[in-house]
A = this chain, B = another copy of it.
Amino acid sequence: MAANILVVDDEQSIADLIEVYLKNENYDVFKFYNGRDALQCVENHNIDLAILDIMLPDIDGFSICQQIREKYNFPVIMLTAKEEEIDKITGLTLGADDYITKPFRPLELIARVKAQLRRFTKYNFLEPKQDEHLIAFSGLVLDKDTHECTLNEKNLSLTPTEFSILWVLCSNRGRVVSSEDLFHEVWGDKYFTNNNNTVMVHIRHLREKMHDSAENPKYIKTVWGVGYKIEK
C-alpha cells in the first residue's frame, strides 16, 4: 500500500532522515525545506499524509496545517521540539491528528504514520456501528456481551485474543485483512513491532476450533501475499 507523504522541515538533515525511513517502507516522499513550496506541492499532488515541522522559515507548520485543513482531508502529523512548553505544544498542534516530539525514534515515526494512514483508509475499523454487539451469519454467532462464539450452536470457547481476531475478520467480511492490520486492530497501535507470526498462530488455533483447515478453508481463507478473509 503505497502512499504519498509530504515532509516539511527546514532542517535538511532531519527532513532527509525522515525521507530515508519512509522510502524504506516504500512510501513516495515529497520533501520540502520551506512552507511555500510544500503548499504548492499539496495543490499538485494527491498527498495522503503530511509530516510538518512547526518551526519553518517562511510559514510555520501550524499555519500550513490550517491551510491544508481548509481544502483537504488527509491526516497531518506535527513535529515539535521536546523543550517546548507543554501548553505551547498542545496549542501549536491544533488541528493536527498526531504529533511527534524531536528527537524521535524511527520506528515510532513509522508506526504513527501507519496508524494514521490506517485510520483514514479501508475497513470499518474504528468500531463498525456504535452499538453492534452481535455478528451472526451462516451458523456463526459472535456475541460481544457474553464474549461467546458459537458455530452451529456449539460453543467454540475462544480465548480473548482469538475472539478479537475473529471479530475483526467477521466485521470486515468479504474484505481481505492483512496480518499487519489485524495485529494493530487487536493489539493496538502501541506496538512498533509487527509480528505477523503471532497472528498466524492464533489463526491456526481459530481454524482448529472451527474445524477449519488452511488448505481447504470453510471460514478463514488465506489470500496469498495479502492477508486473511472471511467470505461474505
**Are A91 and B17 in contact, with the CB atoms below 8 A?**
yes
Bound CA span A99–B1, Å: 28
**Are B93 and A103 in contact, with the CB atoms below 8 A?**
yes
Q: Does A67 contact B (CB under 8 A)?
A: no
Cβ proximity bits A96-113 to B, threshold 8 Å, 1 near / 0 not:
111100111111000000
CB distance from A135 to the nearest CB of B (A): 17
Across-interface contacts of A147 in B (CB, < 8 A): 176, 223, 226
Q: Does A216 contact B (CB under 8 A)?
A: no
State which of B81, B130, B145 has its C-beta within 8 Å of the C-beta of A86.
Answer: B81
**Are B98 and A107 in contact, with the CB atoms below 8 A?**
yes
**Are A146 and B13 in contact, with the CB atoms below 8 A?**
no
**Are B146 and A174 in contact, with the CB atoms below 8 A?**
yes
Q: Does A139 contact B (CB under 8 A)?
A: no
Bound CA span A117–B232, Å: 32
Bound CA span A17–B131, Å: 27
Q: Which of A1-31 contact B (CB under 8 A)?
A: 1, 11, 13-14, 16-17, 20
Q: How many residues of A contact B (CB 8 A)?
A: 46
**Are B96 and A106 in contact, with the CB atoms below 8 A?**
yes
State which of B20, B90, B95, B103 has its C-beta within 8 Å of the C-beta of A99.
Answer: B103
Could you list some 26 contacts between A and B, CB below 8 A? A1-B130, A14-B87, A14-B90, A14-B91, A16-B94, A17-B91, A17-B94, A87-B102, A87-B103, A89-B103, A90-B104, A93-B106, A97-B107, A98-B105, A107-B115, A145-B174, A145-B175, A145-B176, A146-B174, A146-B176, A146-B223, A146-B229, A147-B223, A159-B225, A160-B224, A160-B226
A-B pairs, top 9 by smallest CB distance, nearest first, are A160-B225, A13-B91, A90-B103, A89-B103, A145-B175, A147-B226, A17-B94, A147-B176, A86-B102
Residues of A in contact with B (beta carbons under 8 Å apart): 1, 11, 13-14, 16-17, 20, 81-83, 86-87, 89-91, 93-99, 102-107, 115, 119, 130-131, 145-147, 159-161, 174-176, 223-226, 229
